[in-house]
Amino acid sequence: QVQLVESGGDLVQPGGSLRLSCTVSGINFRFYTMGWYRQAPGKQRDVVATITNNNRDNYSDAVKGRFSISRDNVKNTVYLQMNSLRPEDTAVYYCKLVGPGVQCWGQGTQVTVST
């Protein structure tokens, strides 16, 4: 059974930083593309960043230059380093694992950017 568990969400002031983690179990993590998505209240879930099994990363225009995605194939974990946070980054952040015939989501972690 594949499980994805996110952590690291918090309340942070504008301009601050957070690092989200997503640990995967039940599957050979290293072979799969991982992604971070976010969903704000009343809005659709959008992609934030993705990283392939050979470490090619991609970012949405909204976060390019501020966020960084990385992965540790020994710890079966993908990270999202978020810097220069803005109130519009407030959302529930989800990680996702994607591969041939498989697609799994985590339960989400809340990030709130506010004074």
pLDDT digits (tens, 9 = 90+) for 62-93: 999 999 999 999 999 999 999 999 999 999 99
CA dist., res. 75 & res. 58, Å (int): 22
Mean pLDDT calculated for residue range 10-27: 97
The pLDDT assigned to 100 comes to 87
Q: What are phi and psi of 46, to 5 degrees?
A: -120, 150
Instruction: Report the phi/psi class of residue 89: left, alpha or beta, with left for phi > 0 and alpha for psi in -120 to 50.
Output: alpha
Residue 104 clears pLDDT 90, i.e. is over it: yes
CA dist., res. 90 & res. 93, Å (int): 9
Mean pLDDT calculated for residue range 7-33: 96
pLDDT digits (tens, 9 = 90+) for 52-62: 999 999 999 99
Answer whether 82's CB lies under 8 Å from 18's CB. Answer: yes
